[in-house]
Structure 1
């Protein structure tokens, strides 16, 4: 006999009498998906440019992604916001990024509705919507959709993945992480990787394993229940970490440089139909040196950095193939709507020369070429935190100009592939209709025959901003239904409207032509001048790569486009326009606790993200550990911050109390006690006293004198001539152990304290000294 069920909110249909023998039961109806409803797999790559996937003309092997395109549709007119967190907010909500409060990264949040970094709950996530249709919902990989100050164990947790409709989460909360020693969170708590790099660990492999586990766990109980998996790789964001054998597959493949790469890729793009036959390759970027102008050593280093990147992308494709293979093996792939997209164009945050350790770049301490060459064989491995030169960035966005963070097509036009054998008859076709990532949520709902919910958990929902492109699945010649789309990123503006594109670059078409660096504020006077004289106009229906500025010939059209930009800006909370980087970073924001100068930590607690850890750099500070040493002695980390790329550690080794400062992975400065730490309970203390001023612009933090004490008695002293001036990345602070890459090379990974550690207290004194522009550059590079 079937159960009598009723929907939530309707009247109880059973009978309630005085006793059960004169009553009849009824049950609240569980939420069930319509039979045959497809699974949804959203794959979001990071910093992967238009010209970097094999199916988009690249020489980099991506056979599994290419197979998705060959078995489905490839789009050449998909657009993003040009930056990570803003794009991800659009993908998951179907609303524009300023309407999500995500004008830029949350580290640059300001007190305006479009900029405050908190996605409103009235902008529901796709995960929250699909729960109402009987889906399991999983997020695996990168999140980065909440303020950094909320990433700690203190929460609040309502903007973590499990607070926004995902039933399971495994990945990392911030903008980037080591692929060898990642900062992992499982559901709502930190976890450590289950293996070391030496035992074969890599983050991408781990993420795929967990995605497969999540799906398999549910399918064995409810095989007909569909899933939504948001699979967000750390790749191909820096650090470009990959097993060496993958990089070696590309040995010699890029020896002719980035100019030649662009020519080859562009030719293949025409061959594949990815670009129109009449398309022209964009100009040589003024900020990118000609390949032939580099010295042989500089070319050799740049080539290896690109080989490592290519291996990283191919390795990522391989593991995406494992996930697709699992779905195929279990019979789920044909009825899984797969969408693969990048969050923005290729990244230029490696600078002109690239770097073997981004921490050096962040701290204004770039290594000499000779030092970089000395690490060339380590690139991609656990001891590096590498990123390629921006010549490869420019090449990676072929055929477009510029890159991530800018609203030219190189930053905002990105790969997009759709695969759904059960729902799309076309195979291997290119779609040219205009689309934007805000269209993804409406398309998925359209496919499901579902309306956007009026409310989610009692919160009335805003309207979606995108339009469905499901019509393109069946009709390659259908006219686009997305007619107008604005762009704004850090003052760099653009708008698309029916085949025309207006761009107002800030600070200019290139840094060389502008004579200004990234992050310069825009004054009201600047804005008046920009609107009067610096908008460019491209007829992209005929000029695919924005080569011909026709603003002078079509002044009326330009004025129309500028006016339309302001209409959209008013509609979606884009104003006030803000081109600044560093200025935004120091804006006072609401914090979950009051400011303090004393922090107490206990072993076994979660690692603190850099954003909420005590700021010890360039100031007087002390670290005091309350520890017990057993009769046989003890050793291990009392407190540490950072990783092998740079950081500091306070620890006991070989019976002696020690402090070490790892200066950007280049030099380690030590001070140790003159005698051993006796058994018993003791106060073990480190004090740092500045002895000079920092030279932050040249990559040197405050020099100082380091003193060690045991129970208040002097135990050791030493000088540290150079300290890290700005920040650590990775920058987690841990009590009682050193998880991940060891800060100090003379002890092993983890190195837990083997005595009894009661607590460790950090006390700060003196004025905090830092460099805001450099911190802003670091924050932007983590997108």
Structure 2
């Protein structure tokens, strides 16, 4: 507060002066709390209250106390949708055409949400709300996710007062990469102690709300609760998956029919709704072998357990709000960020890092893993036949602009403010509509300015008009869609879709083939064809022309251009990096977790790791430098008084070289040299073979050959740590001693990467896109 804002009087002494205090900003009297719950990769037909085959009693409880919308839409991808939910502006207006890892240097694509597009957190915190974000964020530019910042696009830079979760697109549920406010944090317990991220997030949500309500009970809160569920890895304690034993043995073809039948009974879809045509990418269940059916059914059981477990954690938060007496005056909006995910591919996966490195998974190996799926050992994802079933009754899935990618659940509850209970609304709504609806219900106008920054117009339309009027005419009558070159446009009950060709798997390489021909549009009359089952383009050429032209008009308004269907080239697009490129990286003890995109890249190139250490009398042990996780990486460490280097080849094999003599006491430099002896073979999932040499000072003390190394990536949840292996140990050699902190002293660890790098852009693109 400056002196110019002082409205009292200052005299020569206190007796001659008059004090003054600025009036505290308070929310409107009896203003409701707001809680936005964002599920990840949950399809239209997976929640119990949307006709799904999975029990979700707590989400059903929200629906029973409020409304379900059956015509709610997202962008078809995670970060773009979340930017819409937070700002009320379209994803290209937010510069979030895709996830930030594939950003390009154009206004709609650069991954930096402009501050003139204020977030609802920024609007509410200035009106006297407490603001909390928990769980997945994935709205920070890829180059800004490390401790070097900048922090203006982290949650605390966008109006949230407290944050506990993870910045990236996914994380391990048992050993997550956590951020608390603006600093990294370690999980409060281990998997052996029963830790699971979703449970932790629910407890933290309760703690955040409790902390403020105990001090200022009348102050309302905005809570953005975003568990990583049900994005891969599908991880949940075994008993939750076992509940569904045998429940999916019928297969995905029959599951779709069962889900549609339940949806019709519930009124979620019209009685005349047809199942969309068979997806040519998906084999018929009856064509699979008995072993394939057994494995794929178990993968779905694990997913089902994961979703119900998530529902139970949501229930804990609801129960707490009820105990607090706040539930009835809390606006709850629960959504999913896009359709169900097909990133498990046609056969599913138990370790997606093998997929990213082009290392094939065999049915036999995956069958051996079946009993432990959902546990901390595997990073599993179901096959895309279950994705297709999860998006019933629609076609296609996440990343694509058919309704299977863009139509999602929206459940709204506010017992004190909405009289309707358990009803369904069919007005068209979109992710950009939540912010204006919240503002209208709370009684706050959208600000003209936030922290000195003039605000752009909100592009969404409040659907508050529909809360009590089931037959009210829809007010959001036009909406464009674009994702990775696929497009769609909704207008007055018609929907035109410019798709990725059916029968063709969307890959990084194939994306570059996306065309701009307006002749390829499909057309659906949603007033008569809810599920987009019947393409009527041939009978309505004038309507196609009208909608195609409308799409280009909307694209011009919202920074969609230049339309970009590139794959590999888009990945290789130059973009800002966290620091200048260099040949030497120096790390210090206490470095907990440097994200993959900010860490030194050593794959397929000559490099060395030198640790300047002091070994105390009696010896020392522990990690000097570790990079990666159980699913792949490397570690330089000391055990049994000898220097060791281990290279974990995508969780398949560990190659280790051990010094042939004990490490000396006192100050010493120890070194590992990686001398590549051949070229990588990316098509076969083989990184460069190498000779590994170990040194104490200038004395060579060990040597060994590794036949192959990791070709492309350490993994989505990988990070680099110095002096310890921070969370998910690279090697079985010290997993039971994690984090296996070095017991001597480390001055510094230097990584020299002056050798020429090798990059396989297509494999890297697949890895990045799975983080949506």
Taking structure 2 as the reference length, the TM-score comes to: 0.98
Which is further off, 625-634 or 121-130? 625-634
Q: 1:549 aligns with which of 535, 546, 550?
A: 535
Equivalent-residue separation in structure 1 for 2:284 and 2:101 (angstroms): 35
Write out per-residue CA displacement over residues 266-312 of structure 1, whole angstroms, 9 at most, x where no aligned residue: 10000000001111111110000111111111111101110100000
Q: 1:778 aligns with which of 754, 757, 767?
A: 767
Q: Secondary structure at the match of 1:29?
A: coil
Q: How far does residue 589 in structure 1 lie from its aligned partner after superposition? A: 1.1
Write out per-residue CA displacement over residues 131-170 of structure 1, whole angstroms, 9 at most, x where no aligned residue: 1210000000011101122111110111111011000000
Matches within 5 A, 1:117-516: 117-506=111-500, 508-511=501-504
Whether the aligned pair in 1 keeps the contact of 2:135 and 2:228 (CA below 8 Å) is: yes
Which residue in 1 is equivalent to 2:565? 579
Q: Secondary structure at the match of 2:750?
A: strand
Q: 1:609 aligns with which of 595, 605, 614?
A: 595
Q: 1:746 aligns with which of 713, 721, 733?
A: 733
Whether the aligned pair in 1 keeps the contact of 2:512 and 2:567 (CA below 8 Å) is: no
Equivalent-residue separation in structure 1 for 2:4 and 2:522 (angstroms): 57
Which residue in 1 is equivalent to 2:71? 77
Whether the aligned pair in 2 keeps the contact of 1:639 and 1:735 (CA below 8 Å) is: yes
Equivalent-residue separation in structure 2 for 1:590 and 1:739 (angstroms): 27
Q: Secondary structure at the match of 2:613?
A: strand
Q: How far does residue 80 in structure 1 lie from its aligned partner after superposition? A: 0.2
Equivalent-residue separation in structure 2 for 1:647 and 1:767 (angstroms): 20
Equivalent-residue separation in structure 1 for 2:3 and 2:134 (angstroms): 33
Q: How far does residue 432 in structure 1 lie from its aligned partner after superposition? A: 0.4
Equivalent-residue separation in structure 1 for 2:508 and 2:499 (angstroms): 11
Which residue in 2 is equivalent to 1:4? none
Equivalent-residue separation in structure 2 for 1:706 and 1:213 (angstroms): 49
Whether the aligned pair in 2 keeps the contact of 1:609 and 1:731 (CA below 8 Å) is: yes
Which residue in 1 is equivalent to 2:690? 704
Whether the aligned pair in 1 keeps the contact of 2:484 and 2:511 (CA below 8 Å) is: no
Q: How far does residue 8 in structure 1 lie from its aligned partner after superposition? A: 11
- Give structure 2 stretches of 5+ with no counterpart: none
Q: How far does residue 674 in structure 1 lie from its aligned partner after superposition? A: 0.7
Query: Measured at CA, do residues 269 and 198 of structure 1 come closer, stay the same or move farther in structure 2, by a change above 3 Å?
Result: same
Query: Measured at CA, do residues 701 and 109 of structure 1 come closer, stay the same or move farther in structure 2, by a change above 3 Å?
Result: same
Which is further off, 443-452 or 177-186? 443-452
Query: Measured at CA, do residues 267 and 195 of structure 1 come closer, stay the same or move farther in structure 2, by a change above 3 Å?
Result: same
Q: How far does residue 26 in structure 1 lie from its aligned partner after superposition? A: 2.5
Equivalent-residue separation in structure 2 for 1:519 and 1:66 (angstroms): 41
Whether the aligned pair in 2 keeps the contact of 1:641 and 1:648 (CA below 8 Å) is: yes
Whether the aligned pair in 2 keeps the contact of 1:157 and 1:163 (CA below 8 Å) is: yes
Equivalent-residue separation in structure 1 for 2:193 and 2:339 (angstroms): 33
Q: Secondary structure at the match of 2:594?
A: coil
Equivalent-residue separation in structure 2 for 1:449 and 1:423 (angstroms): 12
Equivalent-residue separation in structure 1 for 2:9 and 2:148 (angstroms): 48
Write out per-residue CA displacement over residues 535-576 of structure 1, whole angstroms, 9 at most, x where no aligned residue: 111101111111111112111111110011011000000001
Q: Secondary structure at the match of 2:235?
A: coil
Q: Secondary structure at the match of 1:496?
A: strand
Whether the aligned pair in 2 keeps the contact of 1:137 and 1:168 (CA below 8 Å) is: yes
**In the alignment, is residue 536 of structure 1 matched against residue 526 of structure 2?**
no
Taking structure 1 as the reference length, the TM-score comes to: 0.97
Q: How far does residue 220 in structure 1 lie from its aligned partner after superposition? A: 0.6
Q: How far does residue 707 in structure 1 lie from its aligned partner after superposition? A: 0.6
**In the alignment, is residue 736 of structure 1 matched against residue 723 of structure 2?**
yes
Q: Secondary structure at the match of 1:569?
A: helix
Which residue in 2 is equivalent to 1:678? 664
Equivalent-residue separation in structure 2 for 1:725 and 1:688 (angstroms): 14
Q: How far does residue 739 in structure 1 lie from its aligned partner after superposition? A: 2.0
Which residue in 1 is equivalent to 2:547? 561
Equivalent-residue separation in structure 1 for 2:689 and 2:171 (angstroms): 29
Query: Measured at CA, do residues 102 and 423 of structure 1 come closer, stay the same or move farther in structure 2, by a change above 3 Å?
Result: same
Equivalent-residue separation in structure 1 for 2:730 and 2:243 (angstroms): 31
Q: Secondary structure at the match of 2:661?
A: strand
Which residue in 2 is equivalent to 1:86? 80
Whether the aligned pair in 1 keeps the contact of 2:508 and 2:762 (CA below 8 Å) is: no
Q: Secondary structure at the match of 1:28?
A: coil
**In the alignment, is residue 520 of structure 1 matched against residue 506 of structure 2?**
no
Whether the aligned pair in 1 keeps the contact of 2:613 and 2:746 (CA below 8 Å) is: yes
CA RMSD after TM alignment: 1.4
Whether the aligned pair in 2 keeps the contact of 1:662 and 1:744 (CA below 8 Å) is: yes
Query: Measured at CA, do residues 559 and 10 of structure 1 come closer, stay the same or move farther in structure 2, by a change above 3 Å?
Result: farther
Equivalent-residue separation in structure 1 for 2:17 and 2:758 (angstroms): 74
Whether the aligned pair in 2 keeps the contact of 1:622 and 1:686 (CA below 8 Å) is: yes
Q: Secondary structure at the match of 1:21?
A: helix
Equivalent-residue separation in structure 2 for 1:737 and 1:380 (angstroms): 26
Equivalent-residue separation in structure 1 for 2:366 and 2:429 (angstroms): 42
**In the alignment, is residue 658 of structure 1 matched against residue 627 of structure 2?**
no
Q: 1:623 aligns with which of 606, 609, 618?
A: 609
